[in-house]
């Protein structure tokens, strides 16, 4: 596991001062390499605004429903990888194990911090961290503060370095992900859950047409250790009209 430390550090050096450009064209400034005061190389999770919005009208056993779908990308632009390791159970039938964040110090020492559980997700057929994100929908009305009308509650996620930012140098990264032994989001990489992925939707059946704000939060319970805990929320304004939706510019 220690082999990842120099690689993450080198990537962070190469990234210093660069820009991340997400698939949606949002520019995210990458600050110079930051190391926390104790010398730990930490990740910093930053969320792109929800993308690829679409409305599904679904008729199933729950009735006729209107679902707002969207894609989520969580980036790491910290100075170290987000590295999660799980306890390996003796019994292969176990579907929940303890999950740890492995943080690496300059020089290579590592420390494991308990951050939650890995739970086996039968629909996705791999392992998820039990709380990684939350999606909140707020109604917007002139002159009034945004009002929370829907929340996803805890969203589970598996960590995988799936999207290289255009300014991230090409170098080999471990793209093995979603297993219980180790999941890694490298610095300068993002992890996308597409808008067709089960769970990437909010039920808006009974909500009136109008303007809303979709707020996506990474690590909503603050369980993960990061360089910056105050940049984990993105906001997308949208207009919901019958079976359609479109994003609104600020
Ligand atoms: Zn999954």
**Rounded distance from Cα 38 to ligand 1 centre (Å):** 33
Write the pLDDT tens digit of every residue in 51-89. Answer: 999 999 999 888 899 999 999 999 998 989 999 999 998
Residue 119 CA to ligand 1 center (angstroms) comes to 10
Report the DSSP beta bridge partners of residue 27: 21
Neighbours of 209 (CB within 10 A): 12
Q: Which helix (H) or strand (E) holds 8?
A: helix 4-15
pLDDT value at 36 more than 60: yes
pLDDT at residue 43, as a whole number: 95
Distance (Å) from CA 121 to ligand 1 centroid = 7
Helix (H) or strand (E) holding 9: helix 4-15
- Ligand 1 centroid to Cα of residue 195, in Å, is 13
Stated pTM of the model: 0.82
Tell me how far the alpha carbon of residue 241 lies from the centroid of ligand 1, in angstroms: 30
Higher pLDDT, 160 or 38: 160
Burial string for 73-110 (b: 16+ CB within 10 Å, else e) reads bbbbbbbbbbbbbbeeeeeeeeeebebbbbbbbeeeee
Pairing mode, if any, of strands 51-60 and 144-151? unpaired
* CB neighbours of residue 199 within 10 Å: 16
- Given a cut of 60, is residue 245 above it in pLDDT? yes
**Looking up tokens 């605004």, which residue turns up?**
49
Q: What is the mean pLDDT of the chain?
A: 85
With vertex at residue 151, the alpha carbon angle to CA 146 and CA 152, rounded to the nearest 5 degrees, is 150
Q: Are 219 and 132 in contact (CB under 8 A)?
A: yes
Ligand 1: centre distance to CA 168 (Å): 25
The partner residues of 94 in beta bridges, in order of sequence, read: none
The DSSP string of 90-126 is SSTT--EEEEEEEEEETTS-EEEEEEEEEEEETTTTE
pLDDT at 250: 65
* pLDDT computed for residue 201 by the predictor: 96
Distance from residue 128's CA to the centre of ligand 1 (Å): 6
**pLDDT level of residue 172 (50, 70, 90 thresholds):** confident
Domains and CATH numbers, the chain: 4-248 (2.60.40.2360)
Query: pLDDT of 90-140, one tens digit each?
Result: 898 899 999 999 999 988 899 999 999 999 988 888 999 999 999 999 999
Q: Is 127 in contact with 178 (CB distance < 8 Å)?
A: yes
Q: Which of the four pLDDT bands, split at 50, 70 and 90, describes residue 26?
A: very low
Residues 6+ apart with CB under 8 A from 177: 158, 159, 160, 161, 162, 183, 184
Centroid of ligand 1 to alpha carbon of 126 (angstroms): 6
């Amino acid at each position: 596991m220690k082999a990842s430390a120099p690689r993450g550090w080198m990537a962070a050096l190469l990234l210093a001062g660069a820009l991340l450009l997400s698939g949606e064209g949002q520019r995210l400034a990458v600050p110079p390499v930051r190391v926390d005061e104790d010398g730990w190389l930490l990740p910093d999770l930053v969320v792109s605004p929800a993308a690829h919005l679409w409305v599904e009208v679904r008729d199933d056993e729950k009735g006729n429903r209107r679902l707002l779908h969207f894609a989520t990308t969580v980036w790491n632009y910290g100075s170290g990888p987000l590295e999660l390791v799980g306890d390996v159970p003796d019994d292969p039938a176990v579907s929940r194990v303890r999950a740890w964040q492995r943080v690496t110090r300059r020089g290579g020492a590592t420390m494991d911090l308990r951050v939650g559980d890995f739970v086996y997700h039968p629909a996705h057929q791999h392992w998820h961290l039990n709380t990684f994100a939350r999606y909140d929908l707020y109604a917007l009305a002139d002159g009034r503060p945004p009002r929370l009308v829907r929340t996803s509650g805890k969203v589970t996620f598996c960590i995988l370095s799936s999207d290289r930012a255009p300014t991230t140098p090409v170098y080999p990264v471990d793209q093995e992900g979603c297993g219980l032994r180790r999941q890694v989001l490298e610095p300068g990489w993002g992890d996308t859950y597409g808008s067709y992925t089960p769970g990437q939707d909010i039920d808006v059946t009974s909500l009136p047409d109008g303007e809303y704000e979709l707020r996506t939060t990474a690590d909503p319970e603050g369980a993960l250790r990061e360089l910056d805990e105050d940049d984990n929320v993105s906001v997308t304004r949208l207009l919901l009209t019958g079976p359609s939706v479109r994003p609104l510019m600020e």
